[in-house]
């Protein structure tokens, strides 16, 4: 049975700078929670607080219902995988993996059994007599995971474990970590700045910024219903287009008119109903690149809006081609099929699926 983690009004200051500013969070047993955010948002500090490598300035940390604020890392029933792998350079892979069991005086037979089980699972059983210096990056990563797994703790903490791997290896390790979670069912808290890692791995994502949690929700929710401009801008690659404009009447319906243009993006019903602002108020219209495509290339649907702009830059990525264009001074990106792309300078007819549009108030950044 895995343990849950509960953070209550957790605070951490380094000198005068407050890094964690009162975080409340409830992580269910067996959940895979990813902490994501830009550099310096406090995500690694939060992980270190859970690990016990930093002491909380205020608030409470509970693991499996037990208050652990003053419990040292060794007694928290956690294991951690570090960004730098932090393998012991003078020890063999075998000793690296069993060190935690040695310090806990676990009988040799049990150590051996655990070592065999996980070195086979991670396919490092042929490397046991090597030193970390003789391993490749991916192999070191596996050893670091083996060291964490072998003790069978209730909670695993991962601190950007894949950021030092090359792109291909990162994707395969990502899948392996997800498989491991499904297989072991332990609680995992995973820190990354890579939003694709966050989306693919998490059962719930906590988007952090400046010591706060902006949104804590399942990946699809974070992507589809971001609570504010920060979350909307952080998740998604290329990021969501943020088009500043004013609210206006377009016949019976509401629309958004981007600044300095005559375009009017009509708001679909459910969204328009939630708008509490008046005509002429400032808003930010959020459009994901994939909701803008070449006109008449998709089956017709409701709430489509077609407009024409000049293509400024064409960026092929392989499966899709990004087209950069400009609306009233705001740079926009559309994701079109490669065969629909047109060269720079040509006029291009774009179609927007307005049902996917988001609307934000510019001053607070909150979603409507």
Partner 1 sequence: MRQRRTSGIVQPKGLRSVLMRMGLFAVLGLFCLYYLLPLVVMVSTSLKSLAEIREGTLLSLPQAITFDAWAKAWDSACVGVRCDGLKPFMWNSIAMAVPAVILSTTLGAINGYALTKWRFPGADWIFALILFGAFIPFQVVLLPMARTLGQLGLAGTVPGLILVHTVYGLAFTTLFFRNFFVSVSDGILQAAKVDGAGFFGIFFRIVLPMSIPAIVVTVIWQFTQIWNDFLFGVAFTIGDSNPVTVALNNVVNTSTGVKEYNVDMAAAIIAALPTMLVYVVAGAYFVRGLSAGAVKG
Q: What residues line the site for partner 1 (CB under 8 A)?
A: 48, 51-53, 72-74, 78-80, 82-91, 99-100, 103-104, 132-135, 140, 147
For the CB of residue 58, give the shortest distance to partner 1 in the complex, in Å: 19
Beta carbon nearer to partner 1, 68 or 254: 68
User: Could you please report the per-residue DSSP string of 40-70?
Assistant: TSSHHHHHHHHHTSS--SEEEEEETTEE-TT
Strands 155-159 and 5-14: unpaired
- DSSP assignment letter at 367: B
How far apart are CB 102 and partner 1 at their closest, in Å? 9
CB of 120 or CB of 134, closer to partner 1: 134
User: How many alpha carbons fall within 13 Å on the CB side of residue 245?
Assistant: 26
Unique residue bearing structure tokens 């996980």 = 118
Three-state SS at 274: helix
Residue of 51, 41, 30, 40 lying closest to 213 (CA atoms): 41
Comparison of 27 and 143: residue with beta carbon closer to partner 1: 143
Helix (H, G, I), strand (E, B) or coil at 180: helix
CB 116 to partner 1: min, Å = 19
133 vs 343, beta carbon nearer partner 1: 133
Count of CB atoms within 10 A of residue 313's CB? 11
In the bound state with partner 1, the residue whose beta carbon lies nearer, of 111 and 215, is 111
Q: Strand 347-353's sheet: what is its strand order?
A: 292-294, 347-353, 304-310
Minimum CB–partner distance for residue 99 and partner 1 (Å): 5
- Least CB distance from residue 51 to partner 1, whole Å? 6
| Minimum distance from residue 212 beta carbon to partner 1 (Å) | 25
DSSP string, 196-228: HHHHHH-SEEEEEETTEEEEEE-HHHHHHS-SB
Whole-number minimum distance, CB 95 to partner 1, in Å?
Answer: 9
Q: Collect all residues with Cβ–Cβ distance below 8 Å to 195 and sequence separation of at least 6.
A: 36, 234, 235, 236, 237
45 versus 330: smaller Cβ distance to partner 1: 45
User: Nearer Cβ to partner 1, position 147 or 174?
Assistant: 147
């Amino acid at each position: 049975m895995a343990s849950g983690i509960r953070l209550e009004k957790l605070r951490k200051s380094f000198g005068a700078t407050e890094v964690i500013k009162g975080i409340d969070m409830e992580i269910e047993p067996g959940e895979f929670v990813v902490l994501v955010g830009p550099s310096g948002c406090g995500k690694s500090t939060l992980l270190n607080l859970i690990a016990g490598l930093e002491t909380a300035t205020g608030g409470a940390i509970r693991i499996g219902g037990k208050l652990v604020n003053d419990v040292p890392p060794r007694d928290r029933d956690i294991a951690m995988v570090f960004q730098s792998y932090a393998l012991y350079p003078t020890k063999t892979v075998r000793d690296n993996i069993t060190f935690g069991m040695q310090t806990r005086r676990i009988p040799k037979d049990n150590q051996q059994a655990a070592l065999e089980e996980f070195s086979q699972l991670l396919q490092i059983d042929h490397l046991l007599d090597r030193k970390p210096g003789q391993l490749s990056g991916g192999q070191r990563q596996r050893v670091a995971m083996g060291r964490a797994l072998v003790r069978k703790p209730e909670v695993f903490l991962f601190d950007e474990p894949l950021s030092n791997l090359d792109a291909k290896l990162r994707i395969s390790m990502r899948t392996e970590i997800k498989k491991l979670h499904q297989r072991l069912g332990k609680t995992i808290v995973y820190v990354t700045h890579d939003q694709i890692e966050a989306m693919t791995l998490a059962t719930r994502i906590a988007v952090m910024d400046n010591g706060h949690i902006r949104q804590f929700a399942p990946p699809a929710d974070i992507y589809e219903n971001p609570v504010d401009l920060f979350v909307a801008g952080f998740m998604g690659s290329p990021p969501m287009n943020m088009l500043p404009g004013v609210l206006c009447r377009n016949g019976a319906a509401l629309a958004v008119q981007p600044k300095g243009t005559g375009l009017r993006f009509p708001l679909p019903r459910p969204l328009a109903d939630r708008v509490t602002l008046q005509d002429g108020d400032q808003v930010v219209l959020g459009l994901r690149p994939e909701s803008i495509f070449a006109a008449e290339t998709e089956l017709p649907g409701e709430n489509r809006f077609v407009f024409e702009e000049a293509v400024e830059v064409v960026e092929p990525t392989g499966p899709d081609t990004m087209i950069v264009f400009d609306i009233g001074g705001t740079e926009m990106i559309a994701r079109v099929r490669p065969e629909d792309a047109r060269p720079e300078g040509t006029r291009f007819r774009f179609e927007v699926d307005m049902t996917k549009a988001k609307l934000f108030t510019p001053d607070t950044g909150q979603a409507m």
